[in-house]
Structure formats: structure tokens, C-alpha cells
Structure 1
Amino acid sequence: MRTETNDLRGHSGAGFPAFALRLDGVVKEYGRAGRAVRALDGVSVGIERGSFTAVMGPSGSGKSTFLHCAAGLDKPSGGSVFLGDTDLGAMDETRLTELRRGRIGFVFQAFNLIPALSVRQNVELPLRLAGERLDPAWLDEVLARVGLAGRAAHRPAELSGGQQQRVAIARALITRPDVVFGDEPTGALDTMTAREILSLLRSCVDETGRTVVMVTHDPVAASYADTVLFLADGRIADRMQAPTADRVADRMTHLGAWA
């Protein structure tokens, strides 16, 4: 198990890859030749360590496929995906599963908590599945960081939607992952709660040096990121630094079929 809360900050120095995540010419096709649909069409991008990246685009632009390939949930038809200096394409499914458990965190729109387990047990689960030792002090710190220190014994049904998503974020952080992926993590939440969750993800980057990659359709959510990647027709159409909700919304009206 990695040791320091902010252990990723040191990875930008000598001896470590410049990017937490890198896609080189990634192609993903579904279906057979002649009827294949190309969801990703030669995507190349590097995600810097300790950064917050939002991925946006019209429906069918390839956002979900981008996330699935980047996170090792799906194998590209062509090109390469690297987590740090690890080539995911060189790994079989068993090794990919082990990598996802230890080096990747996931936060989904639907929370995906186990109802019969307490908050603490849900957060511990990735470590237990990976057969790693639980550090009680780190668990307490993660629960405190997401504002659930007093709720560790509660079951998901006893929590609000926002609190359940906080559990999901704590679960994603417990293994000290290289990258945390969010798939519409605020899509099921009201506006005020969504902003609390986005602020929490922002603090994961600013205070602990985590790398966050979030797929979203919401320009306000994207404005919490350092960088927005815009996908259209399976390709990266644009990249925006220091985004604002208004700039993102305006750019979205000029992508792909929306243009």
C-alpha cells in the first residue's frame, strides 16, 4: 500500500512519467467489418498528474467509450492506453482487474453501494477485494475528508443522495489510486448537492494531488475542472483551459452535429 496522503505529488519528478494517463491513437469500433461503428477515432491525449479533467460532447460523441477505454474497462480496437508507464494493452483480464482495484477509483452516477454494508464497510471493500491490509488511520482520514466521520456505521438507505455519493468518493480514494474516474457523478443529484460533490472532487485534486477525469454533460460541473476535453464524432475537437460554465456551454453548441 502507498503511504502518504499526497503521495502523487512526487510523481512528477525525475523517474516518473509526466502523465497519469495517456491515450495514443486510440480507436474503438463496435460491430463487424462493414457494419462497424467507430466510437473513438484516433484519440491521443495526455492527462497530467494532479489535474482535474472534464470530458464533454454531444450524445454519441464517444464520452463513455473514452472513459471505458481509459479506465481499462474496455480494450481499444487500436492504439494504446497507459496508466503512468503501464501499457494496459499488454495486460490480460486478470491483471487488468488487479490494476483497477489498486490504481483506479470509480465514482458513478448511481453510487453503486452495497445496501447491506455500512458506510465503513462499503469504503473498505476495494481493499478487501484486493487482499490489501486496511490502514484504520487512513480510513478515518478519508471518511473525515468527505464529511462522513460521524456516519461510518450507517447503511446507505439511511443517507441522502449526496451522502451516498460521498461514500462512493471515499471508496474511490481508499486505495490511493493513480486516477479517479467519474461517470456523470452529479447526474442524480440536485443542484446544491451537486456543487458540494464537485467541490469535494476539486479538493481531492488540490489538497491530495489526485488526478480526476470526469465525464459530464453539465457545463457548470465542467467549470470545476482545470481542463475540458470536447469530443465530437469520436475525436477530440477542442481543449479548454480554465473553463467557465458560459464558455463551455457556448463551445458545446458548436460541436459535431450541433454545429
Structure 2
Amino acid sequence: MVRSGARHDHGPGPAPEALRLVEVTKSYGTGDGCVTALDGVTLGLERGTFTAVMGPSGSGTSTLLQCAAGLDRPDSGIVRVDGTELTGGSETELTQFRRGRIGFVFQQYNLLETLTVAQNTVLPLKLAGRRVDRKRARETLTAVGLGDRLGHRPGQLSGGQQQRVAIARALVAEHRVIFADEPTGALDTRSAREVPALLRQAVRVHGRTVVMVTHDPVAASCADSVLFLADGRLAGRMDAVTERLAHLGDDMTARA
């Protein structure tokens, strides 16, 4: 079952370590067609940090995010989010845990077309049976630049605006850990620069922990540190890379 780890013994407050993976392995297929997506990955991320995960296609970055977020089950190893071990939990327990502790921002915005911006923002609270604070929702949407779009539906918004709704949704639900999978992949250049800045603000202002998979060096430049994966293994970690990656992104943009 989903169970609390030793770091969660001090009470209901957030654990000092937001994410811990220990020897996590995940393979797909069988026989000659078997592909090892994660090969004994071990890592730990402190609460209140912004981490980017980068690697070439097929390196295991998305699989890492899915296993870390409880969306997929590793073949072996331990996954602990906010002090709670996810390994071995039932689907019902994992769903309940995700609704209460984990926020998601995907490349595709996962908004319901029939609901307004305001309704999409508070939907996770309703699904979890939690109290809906509409004033807080309005304030959060205003903070991400959508205060005048509360009654609009997703089809009336740009891609960047829809991604802002997804970020506001994660903030309103007060999820302690936010996983973002290529959140700028479907956006124009301007919006692709604004979204990582909003995620960084979620860390700095709201104390969230953000783990973002990205191929965009400029998006990664907003992170506190960058993890590099290759062939399902951690290939390195760089801290204080903001300026270096930002320059790399500018060079790439200039050449395009």
C-alpha cells in the first residue's frame, strides 16, 4: 500500500525531501524487443527546488517523470514523494495520493473544453472532495495573467494561456510537488519563455517543488539544477547552470 516513509514521521507537514528514487528500473517489451527505459536510477530532490531533466529522445526522461509521479509503476526500486512511498500502492490509493499531493503540467494542457477557465482551475479540488476557495482561484488566475479570462473556455485561449490555466490549477490545489512534461513543447517562442518563469515563481513564491522534463535549454535555464539522462541512467547533474544554458538557448535561437 502507499505508506509514509521515515521522513514523514514529524507530522502532516511537508517532508524536507520532495522526491527520492532508489535503484528504480523500468523496461518495456520482452525478449529481443525489451527496452530498458530506466536502469537503476537513484536520486533525491529537496523540497522547494526547481529541477529540469534533460536527455536525448529515448533516454528515459518521460519514463522517469511518469514513475516518479506514480503514473507508471517501476519494475523494481523505491519511489517516495513528499515522504510517502508509492511503491506497491493500489491504483485507488495512488489516485487519491496524486489528487492530494501531486500537480501536473503536460505538453497537452488537459483542460475540459466544456468548462470555463475558472471551472477547470478548481476541478482537481472537486474531484478530491476538497473545499473550493473561489476567491483564491481568482487571485491565482490573476497572478498568472488570466484575471480577465475567468469565463472563457479553452478554445477561446491561446496555447500559452491554456498552459497558464494548467499551472494555476496546480497552484490552487496546493500540490506540494508539480511534475511538468515538456510544458513548452507546443508553444510559440514567447509563451515558451513565460511558462518556465511561472513555474519558477511557483517555487520561489509558493514553496512548491517542480520537476520539469524538457528539451529546451532556455526553459531549463529557469531551473536551480539540471539532471541529464542517457540510456536510462543518470549521466550527470549540473547546478547553477542558468546563465550557461540561457546563453546556449540564445545562440540556438540566433542560428534558427
Note whether the superposition's TM-score is higher than 0.5: yes
Report matched runs for 1:173-212 at 5 Å. 173-212=171-210
Report matched runs for 1:83-94 at 5 Å. 83-94=81-92
Give 1:136's aligned residue.
Answer: 134
CA distance in 2, matches of 1:39, 1:248: 29
CA distance in 2, matches of 1:218, 1:35: 30
Distance change in 2, residues 1:247/1:174 (3 Å): closer
CA distance in 2, matches of 1:194, 1:153: 24
Larger mean CA deviation between 92-101 and 241-250 belongs to: 241-250
Over 3 Å off, 4+ runs: 14-17, 244-250
Larger mean CA deviation between 136-145 and 41-50 belongs to: 136-145
Q: Which amino acid aligns with 1:181?
A: F
Render the CA deviation track for 1:197-230: whole Å, top value 9, x for unaligned.
1111111111111100000001111110001000
Render the CA deviation track for 1:31-59: whole Å, top value 9, x for unaligned.
23564221100101111111000000011
Of 60, 63, 83, the residue aligned with 1:62 is 60
Give 2:147's aligned residue.
Answer: 149
Give 1:95's aligned residue.
Answer: 93
Report matched runs for 1:106-145 at 5 Å. 106-145=104-143
**Alignment size in residue pairs:** 239
Give 1:80's aligned residue.
Answer: 78
Distance change in 2, residues 1:215/1:122 (3 Å): same
Give 1:227's aligned residue.
Answer: 225
CA distance in 2, matches of 1:88, 1:115: 32
Partner-residue secondary structure (3-state), 2:87: helix
Percent identity over the alignment is 60
Give 1:42's aligned residue.
Answer: 40
Alignment check: 8 A CA contact 1:220 1:245 kept: no
Render the CA deviation track for 1:86-141: whole Å, top value 9, x for unaligned.
11013110010011111111111111111111001111111111111111232122
Alignment check: 8 A CA contact 2:105 2:166 kept: yes
Q: Which amino acid aligns with 1:106?
A: F
Alignment check: 8 A CA contact 2:21 2:79 kept: yes
Following superposition, the deviation at residue 245 of structure 1 comes to: 6.3
Partner-residue secondary structure (3-state), 1:149: coil
Alignment check: 8 A CA contact 1:228 1:243 kept: yes
Render the CA deviation track for 1:73-96: whole Å, top value 9, x for unaligned.
001001000012211013110010
CA distance in 1, matches of 2:136, 2:230: 40
CA distance in 2, matches of 1:247, 1:204: 21
CA distance in 1, matches of 2:138, 2:110: 21
Q: Which amino acid aligns with 1:191?
A: T
Partner-residue secondary structure (3-state), 1:214: strand
Alignment check: 8 A CA contact 2:113 2:155 kept: yes
Render the CA deviation track for 1:151-199: whole Å, top value 9, x for unaligned.
1111111111111110111112221111111110011111111111111
CA distance in 2, matches of 1:154, 1:38: 44
TM-score (norm 2): 0.88
Give 1:19's aligned residue.
Answer: 17
CA distance in 2, matches of 1:136, 1:164: 19
CA distance in 2, matches of 1:215, 1:106: 12
Distance change in 2, residues 1:66/1:248 (3 Å): farther
CA distance in 2, matches of 1:122, 1:17: 29
Alignment check: 8 A CA contact 1:30 1:38 kept: yes
